[in-house]
């Protein structure tokens, strides 16, 4: 294949074909690697998901920003509906800064 004798259209077509072939190559390599890893994990009595950090547990929670003035076990992140204890504290004259952690 002599690139110097090819037209611009032929070169662009070749470029598209090479890009597609490279993408296909990467996908094949990843699939082969995944297959090998799954086989290794299975041989040891695990699944690949055990190591891949799949979805586990519940979603992350926001850190609390406010704490109940008398019961430190009650906290609020400042997101969502205000808890009743927060509303009561504000109504009694406290400020949000007074309740901040």
Same domain, 9 and 42: yes
Same domain, 78 and 40: no
Per-residue pLDDT of 34-85, as tens digits, reads 999 989 988 998 888 887 765 555 666 788 999 988 888 889 999 889 999 9
Beta-bridge partner residues of 67: 75
Same domain, 45 and 9: yes
| Backbone torsions φ then ψ of 93, nearest 5 degrees | 110, -5
Same domain, 73 and 44: no
Q: Residue 6 has what pLDDT?
A: 93
Q: Please state, in angstroms and rounded to a whole number, the distance separating the CA atoms of residues 1 and 17.
A: 14
Q: Residue 55 has what pLDDT?
A: 59
Q: Which domain holds residue 76?
A: 66-99
Mean pLDDT on 96-100: 90
Same domain, 11 and 43: yes
For Cα atoms 32, 36, 41, give the angle at the middle one, nearest 5 degrees: 145
Is residue 59 situated within a structural domain? no
Give the chain's domain count. Answer: 2
């Amino acid at each position: 294949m002599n690139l110097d004798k090819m037209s611009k259209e032929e070169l662009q077509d070749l470029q598209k074909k090479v890009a597609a072939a490279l993408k296909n190559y990467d996908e094949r390599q990843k699939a082969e690697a995944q297959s090998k890893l799954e086989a290794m994990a299975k041989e040891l009595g695990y699944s690949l998901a055990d190591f891949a950090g799949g979805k586990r547990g519940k979603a992350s929670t926001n850190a609390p920003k406010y704490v109940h003035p008398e019961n430190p076990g009650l906290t609020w992140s400042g997101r969502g509906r205000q808890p009743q204890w927060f509303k009561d504290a504000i109504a009694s004259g406290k400020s949000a800064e007074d309740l901040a952690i």
